[in-house]
Amino acid sequence: MKAMRLWAVARKEALHIARDPRSLGMAIAIPMLLLLLFGYALTLDVDRVPLVVWDQSGTAESRALVDAFAVSRYFTFQGYARDYADVERSIDSARALVALVVPTGFAADVGAGRATSVQAIVDGSDSNTATIAIGYADAVVERYSSDLVLGAAARRGGRTPATPIDVRPRVWYNADLESRNYIVPGLIAVIMMVIAALLTSLTVAREWERGTMEQLISTPVKGPELVLGKLLPYFAIGMLDVLLAVLMGEFLFHVPLRGSVPLVFTMAAIFLAGALSLGMVISIVTKSQLMASQLAMVLTFLPSFLLSGFMYSIANMPPAIQAITYVVPARYFVSLLKGIYLKGVGLEVLGADAALLSAFGIALVVLASVKFRKQLV
């Protein structure tokens, strides 16, 4: 392999990119646009749950319970309902996600110190949101009940009852439980995988469709030189995309980067080399730009989005699907980014993921070089 021939191929590809603003725009603008859209639109935080109340009691005690929900940051009080039909209309029209029904004898039971109950009707069409909303409602009612017990003890002048178990949770790495803090690092991996493979999936196929492959075959350029030369310009663009994504995460989304910045870019370089080589392999095999772009999307976006652990926990997947995730390279890069970003750990913890990601990158680069043959058939 000669550096002069490698540089000539890289320069040719760079000139082609520079003369095609659409390709350059897709390589730089689209990753930033996707990061903006997903970063702001994709959130798993459940706040300000709309709430309506049917207060059949209409007493100070029931109003205190309603106020406990209204002042909570997790609920937004939408008003009162008059009956169950009104509750049903509110939930059907999405005016409310939760309806609180306070029974008629609520104040009498509370005043007598008897156990009582209130009904929470929850829209279960979104099971994840409904489960979280039920947890919020349980917490508000538990706090209200605790205040009642303490208040009753204080009025009797007795000793305040001790709580048998006092749980004091402390959240590490993402203290505010902001979903953006782990979505954005995962997004970087998914977007880079898709864009990188799409960009290089058109390179060799374009040469075949334009009839210029015959000219390249007739030159002294060897297969590995052609493959690596075509990868280099896109590798530089990909690293620029990573830099912009890291800067957006830091200054736009305010995602903490607690680990090593050089380690982030080192792992990104290895991941990009593999993703770009995957696109090159697709381009070599298909020899058609349309087929290459479609196949690249199927082989990159769906596995990276669904099977990388970016959105859905791999531990919760069926065993057969968990086994498939081991061949998805984005799985290892997502794990690395989340560990470096949120936990601030290095290779002493993430060494296995880094090794597997490196194996993926090397294997794909070698496969692309071996797969390309300087022949017309």
Q: What is the DSSP string of 70-91?
A: HTSTTEEEEEE-SSHHHHHHHH
Look at residue 35 and tell me whether its pLDDT is greater than 90: no
Angle between helices 261-286 and 329-338 (to 10 degrees): 170
Considering all CA atoms of the chain, what is the largest pairwise distance in Å, rounded to the nearest integer? 99
CA distances from 296 to 53, 87, 262, 276 (A): 51, 49, 29, 11
Tell me if 46 sits within 8 A of 18, measured CB to CB. no
Q: What is the SS3 assignment for 222?
A: coil
Residues facing residue 99 across a β-bridge: 52, 121
Comparing 9-13, 19-23, 61-65, the range with the smallest average pLDDT is 19-23
Looking at the domain covering 49-156, what would its CATH class be? Answer: alpha beta
Both tokens of 170, joined, read 């402390």
Q: What is the mean pLDDT of residues 313-341?
A: 92
Model confidence pLDDT, tens digit, residues 84-133 = 999 999 999 989 999 999 999 998 988 887 888 899 999 998 888 899 99
Domain boundaries, the chain: 3-43+178-371, 49-156
Look at residue 238 and tell me whether its pLDDT is greater than 70: yes
Both tokens of 4, joined, read 């002069």
Contacts of 335 (CB under 8 A, 6+ apart): 309, 350, 353
Q: Of all residues in the chain, what percent carry a pLDDT higher than 70?
A: 92
pLDDT for the residue 375: 57
Q: Which residue has the higher pLDDT, 156 or 240?
A: 240
Tell me if 354 sits within 8 A of 267, measured CB to CB. yes
Q: Which residue has the higher pLDDT, 27 or 234?
A: 234
pLDDT for the residue 214: 64
Look at residue 309 and tell me whether its pLDDT is greater than 60: yes
CA distances from 148 to 1, 89, 154, 263, 341 (A): 80, 33, 10, 53, 43
pLDDT for the residue 320: 92
Going by pLDDT thresholds of 50, 70 and 90, the confidence category of residue 166 is: low
Both tokens of 119, joined, read 């009904």
pLDDT for the residue 264: 95
What kind and span of H or E run contains 103? Answer: none
Q: What is the SS3 assignment for 252?
A: coil
Going by pLDDT thresholds of 50, 70 and 90, the confidence category of residue 217 is: low
pLDDT for the residue 1: 67
pLDDT for the residue 73: 86
Mean pLDDT (the chain) is 85
- Note the pTM of the prediction, 2 decimals: 0.80
pLDDT for the residue 162: 61
Alpha helices in the chain (DSSP H): 3-19, 21-41, 60-70, 84-92, 106-112, 127-156, 180-200, 203-210, 213-218, 223-251, 261-286, 289-306, 319-325, 329-338, 347-371
What amino acid is encoded at 256 in this protein? P
